[in-house]
Amino acid sequence: MRVILVGFGERPGVLEEAERLRPAIARHAEIVASDFTGQQDLSEVEADLAIVLGGDGSILRAAHQMGTRQRPVLAVNLGRLGFLADLSPEELPAVLEEIAAKGLAGRVIEHLMLDCRVTRGDQVLAQRLGLNEVSVQSGPTFRIIDLDLYIDSELVTTYSCDGLIVSTPVGSTAHSLSAGGPILRKELQAFVISPISPHTLTNRPVVDSAGRVYELVIAKAESGTAVVVDGRVACTVMPKDRVRVRKAQSRFKMVTVRGHSYYRTLREKLGWGGRIQFGGEEREGA
């Protein structure tokens, strides 16, 4: 089994943990490439599996590095939260041994990725592959912006807000969640549209099919307004620019591990303990 070993080397402890785990990995697989800069193009590396050391940010970075040639990702959590990376370093050797013996068949779940294209007239300003979300965010002087939302060329509404997020199910626990969006199970084929601080309080998050084409047209914005894909600025935009978001052909591939279920992750990461505090007294939740 050929593996790529990646992580963000500037994060404390990542390089040290990589060296500690390298012998255990090498017992079950051939490490054909490793990168801890986040800069190497991994799309041309012939590999069966990518082992990512870090948190969800490291997984996003690895997905971008693999581009249109996504490999199954086995994520080892060295971060704080880790909705995607929930495997502990201590569990990795046993999981690799099992994969080496039985293969990856039945262990890989594919997740939706998005294609974002920004245009100004006939000019393409940016095109990006994303895993979490696309957002249009106001820049200095941080005034409210107006965005027209079209779905399959039909006008839905005009948002007056600080920004607008179009999120995948994987990204529903990221920026979209902090903006009040719902949590979607990662395997769903859907997008979430979540306004950031909307001027009209009846503008609520919307969930619709991933088979549709979503287009944001900039109606009013300041000069610093930007399109951000997975936390990285793709370009700045002006009135009449168009941001088109649709399902990408590529799929993000995640290796599942026994004992690590979707709802267990939500329960542990979001602190869904089922207990409510009343004046220092702990009671069971309803």
Residues with a catalytic annotation lie at 56
Which has the closest alpha carbon to 89: 25, 34, 27?
25
> Which residues, including other chains, have CB under 8 Å from residue 158's CB and lie 6 or more apart?
146, 147, 148, 149, 219
Phi-psi region of 13 (alpha: psi -120 to 50; beta: other; left: phi over 0): left
Token duo for residue 38: 């986040």
Q: Which residues pair with 242 in a beta bridge?
A: 119, 217
Burial class (CB in 10 A: 0-12, 13-18, 19+), 137: buried
Alpha helix (H) residue ranges in 155-199: 175-178
Instruction: Give the DSSP letter of residue 87.
Output: B
3-state secondary structure of 24: helix
For residue 242, the SS3 value is strand
Tell me the backbone φ, ψ of residue 233, rounded to 5 degrees. -70, 125
